[in-house]
Amino acid sequence: MKKYLFLLGISLMWGSQFYFAEQVLDTVEPMALAAIRSTIGACTLTLLAILLPHSSAPVKTGFRWRRYTLYVVIALLEAVLPFFLVAWGQNQVNSSLASILIGTTPLWTVLIVWLLFRERLHRNQAFGVMLGFIGVMIIFIPRISYSDATIFSGETAGLVALLMAAVSYASALILMQYLPTASVVLSMRNILWCAVILLWPAVLVMDNSWPRLYPADLLPLFIIGIFQTGLVYWLYTLLVHREGPVFASFSNYLVPLVGIVLGSFFLNESITISMIIGVIVVIGSIMLSRTQPYYSSYNDKI
């Protein structure tokens, strides 16, 4: 029961991030939003590491260069790239559609595990992946057909960016099981600080200035940073260590539903038939592909 409560809490936090991001993207640039949420999230986990007694447990000192290389790689895949891609993509499409496409993360997790670890897919897993891509195409095709934009601009580019973010999340999810187990809080704190170091120079290069924030931006930004970046990654990594990356990826069951409900009721976003059919197909494909963790061992930690 506890692991399902973890899933529910993580899903609600992540599903609502699109709603809060929509409130600030008119005034905050995507790269700046990625940097701000990473900074607030890193500060949150730093404070949590101080408050939690067990978080100060010693971490294995061998192969430190490997461990910090892993931190940087996960920071790129779990924060730097997807935070920017989601924010940029959400400038092109509405929050409901963004939540649906990020909800495909479990399908990419299954596919990447199969490609990289050569683990045999069971029949349901293979059918689930194929069905998931059908669901994505149901969402994609109407927007490509009725738009004159190329894949590098407009709504189509936003859709591609969001799918790339989902692939990035899935890749990081697989790597997160190799984080040191002595302290999940310290590991995620280090990852987010790595992201902060990488993102702020990118903000200055891409935006040519520090972000200008307005009072109305502060509450959504703190909610995104504290709950949807800091605390959620702590809970998420705990779940990855306890139940494996594939089970943890099923937190995305409710992400599209939460995003659609918030977007339609509070942001007055239009929900099309293709979106409804697409999200039903995607969630059904995730349920179909659900299985036990794919790895033969979780003990090869760094």
Contacts of 248 (CB under 8 A, 6+ apart): 7, 10, 173, 236, 239, 240
Task: Indicate the pTM of the whole model.
Answer: 0.84
User: Domain map of the chain by residue range?
Assistant: 2-289
pLDDT in tens, 233-253: 788 777 877 777 667 766 766
pLDDT in tens, 50-82: 887 655 445 554 447 888 899 999 999 999 999
Q: Which long-range contacts (CB under 8 A, 24 or more apart) does 55-64 make?
A: 55/183, 55/185, 55/186, 56/183, 57/182, 57/183, 58/182, 59/180, 59/182, 59/183, 59/186, 60/180, 60/182, 60/302, 63/302
Dihedral sign from CA coordinates of 191, 192, 196, 198: positive
Return the pLDDT at 197. 97
User: H/E element holding 49?
Assistant: helix 30-51
For residue 89, what pLDDT band results from cuts at 50, 70 and 90?
A: very high
pLDDT in tens, 11-61: 889 889 999 999 999 999 999 999 999 999 999 999 998 887 655 445 554
Q: How far apart are CA 157 and CA 34, in angstroms?
A: 19
